Structure 1
Amino acid sequence: MTIPSTLTSQQTRLLARQNTITNTAGYSPGTLQANLLILPHKYSEDFHNLCLRNPVACPLLGISSAPGNPHQITPSRCIQSPDFDLRTDCPRYRVYKHGKCVEANKRDLLDVWPYPFTPQKQLQQQQEEEAGNKDGEQYTAFLIGCSFSFESALHDANLTPRHHLTSTIVAMYRTTIPLLPAGIFTNGTCIVSMRPYREEDIERVREITRPYLATHGEPVDWGWDAVKRLGIRDIEDPDFGERQDFEPGEVPVFWACGVTPQMAIEAAGEKIEGLVFAHEPGHMLVTDWRVEDLERLKGGVGCF
């Protein structure tokens, strides 16, 4: 039987590639997990600026170093295995078109992002280039920090997140918190993840998660009044993930969430030509970054 807490990051990625795991909470503790957003290269500058302007919701852990190539990530320390493939190494994916999710729980992206190109796709790209679309089938990927990364530290402090205990997917909610815009990405709002805790434990929870700035850091809000402040529609009905039960004395504690870029894609809508790919919420890409890298990651991935 596979024990998630004993797996290396590469072992977890291989299980994801083989489609034998889904929810990655609790896998490969001590490593940093990432959200994934892949979009046509011509929009990459705007999206990069969106991340830089919204570092709490969209902290960057890596960017694909060669547009169109699914095997290379910069900085190289982010993913070190030579057989890495962005199209297979998340457990599940989503596909967006014109801001709408057109396919969910997709096992891989091999059919929609061929590489190297088949002769048919090569011809299609040449035709697109002749028509003025110089990017053709080129995509750029962004790896964005995930709060799963600090959950092993919470577990070690006897503050194990509820969804670990119930083997469910963390609850995630749309909010009315606006993103600072960049280029075509306007009118986006933030997503938050939620974990129940007793009020007397919140300061300790904040202290433990605060150093994880590269994976959202400490909570953005907490308590029952926070539900209204954040503009959450219904705490009992998450927009992503699964409902979490509250025990007596517990209140909701909210963190910024890396599903936020998918909301930016939704808001951009028809402005985006071509397909956009993302991870299925809760089904993360496990990187080779480690907790020991957090201090340098405070300065951004350019520090490596």
Structure 2
Amino acid sequence: MDVADLTPAQARERFRSGERKPTAGWCRGWTQANLIAVPAALRYDLLLFAHHNPQACPVLDVGEPGAHATALFGGDLRTDLPGYRLYRDGKPVADLDRVTEEWREDLVPFLIGCSFTFERALLAAGVPVRHLELGTNVPMYVTDVACASAGSLSGPLVVSMRPVPEALVKTAAEVSGRYPRVHGAPVHVGDPAAIGIGDLARPDFGDAVEVREGEVPVFWACGVTPQAAIMASGVEFAIGHLPGHMAILDVRDDDYRVED
């Protein structure tokens, strides 16, 4: 079966059984989300960080301490994503297939909006999405744009990039802007150096894609930003998704679309 035709439950079963792939293009019409789970002592700091940086950190759902499911995610957050990243003292120390043993009783899971949610809408409007064409992960970059700090958390903005034909940049901004709870409109268009990105061919996360003649690099805020804050702030313990390997929720992309 084409992965685009899977239901969220079917996709989660495949991940639970060991399939490990980026989730761009999976489960057509179903919302995907970033995962970050932090100790309960940090949950209010993270909520405040998200409040201060809503475009980068749009919170879709939050679980109780120790929970491994939420209202929007009917699977098991410890096993039903295709990849995880473990942090200790702000450093990524392991990429794991599952985190059943590492999941602590004080961990509070946050599900953060993902720009994959509006990619089908971009395609429907005639805007190409290069990483979907290639079957690769979206390229993501750490910028030199500082997020607003909150409590013990601070860090840089992370962005995802999609090359867009110059004539369609306005369309891409309008289409994605209808999804404000999953990053919304772009945060930057054009020169990557203006936001501290030195080389588009060397993303910090994901896979590089070509920006062709007549195209412009367009950058959206990315839900990996909380993981950048975990690293910058030296958080003693956290679990995130492996960038691009998302939690697939039991809600529809259209639930996050606002009308003109």
Range into which the TM-score falls when normalised by the shorter chain? over 0.9
Q: Tell me, which stretches of 5 or more residues in structure 2 are unaligned?
A: none
Kindly state the Cα deviation for residue 21 of structure 1 after the two structures are TM-superposed. 4.0
Q: Name the CA distance, whole Å, in 2 between partners of 1:87 and 1:61.
A: 18
Residues 21-50 of structure 1: CA deviation (Å, up to 9, x unaligned): 411001112221100001111111111111
> 1:191 maps to which residue?
158
Q: Hey, what does 1:36 align to over in structure 2?
A: 35
Identity %: 41
Distance (whole Å) between structure 2 residues aligned to residue 154 and residue 246 of structure 1? 17
Matched, 1:112 2:108: no
Letter in 2 for 1:229: A
Q: Deviation of residue 152 (structure 1)? A: 1.2
Shift of 1:69: 2.1
Determine the C-alpha separation between the residues in 2 that align with 1:169 and 1:61.
Answer: 22
Task: Please name the residue that 1:87 is paired with.
Answer: 78
**CA distance in structure 2 between the partners assigned to 1:14 and 1:213 by the alignment:** 30
Letter matched to residue 139 of structure 1 = L
Cα distance in 1 for partners of 2:118, 2:111 equals 17
Deviation at 1:233, TM superposition (A): 2.2
Answer yes or no: is the 8 Å Cα contact 1:32–1:215 preserved in 2.
no
Q: Residue type of the partner of 2:203?
A: P
Q: TM-score, normalised by structure 2?
A: 0.95
What secondary structure is seen at the aligned counterpart in 1 of 2:119? helix
Q: Which residue of 2 aligns with 1:182?
A: 150
Q: Matched residues in 1 for 2:22 and 2:103: separation? A: 23
Do the aligned partners of 1:49 and 1:182 also contact (CA within 8 Å) in 2? yes
Name the SS for the 2:158 alignment partner. Answer: strand
Please name the residue that 2:14 is paired with: 15
Quote the residue 1:299 is aligned against: none
Give the distance between the partners of 1:29 and 1:154, measured in 2 at CA.
13
RMSD value over aligned CA atoms? 1.4
Contact 2:20 2:83 in 1 (8 A): no
Alignment of 1:151-170 (within 5 A): 151-170=119-138
| Cα displacement string for residues 33-71 of structure 1 (whole angstroms, at most 9, x for unaligned residues) | 10000111111111111111110000001001x211213
Deviation at 1:295, TM superposition (A): 5.3
Contact 2:67-2:109 at 8 Å conserved across structures:
no
Would you identify which runs of 4 or more consecutive aligned residues in structure 1 move more than 3 Å? none
CA contact (8 A) 2:23 2:246 kept: yes
1:295 and 1:165 map into 2 onto residues whose CA distance is: 24
Tell me the amino acid that sits aligned with residue 276 of structure 1. A
Give the whole-Å Cα distance in 1 for the aligned partners of 2:222 and 2:171. 20
Q: Which has the larger radius of gyration?
A: 1
State how many pairs are aligned. Answer: 258
Tell me which residue corresponds to 1:172.
140
- Distance in 2, matches of 1:197 and 1:160, equals 7
Partner of 1:218: 185
Is it true that 1:290 corresponds to 2:252 in the alignment? yes
Q: Show CA shifts across 1:174-196 (max 9, x none).
A: 1011111111103x010000011
TM-score (norm 1): 0.82
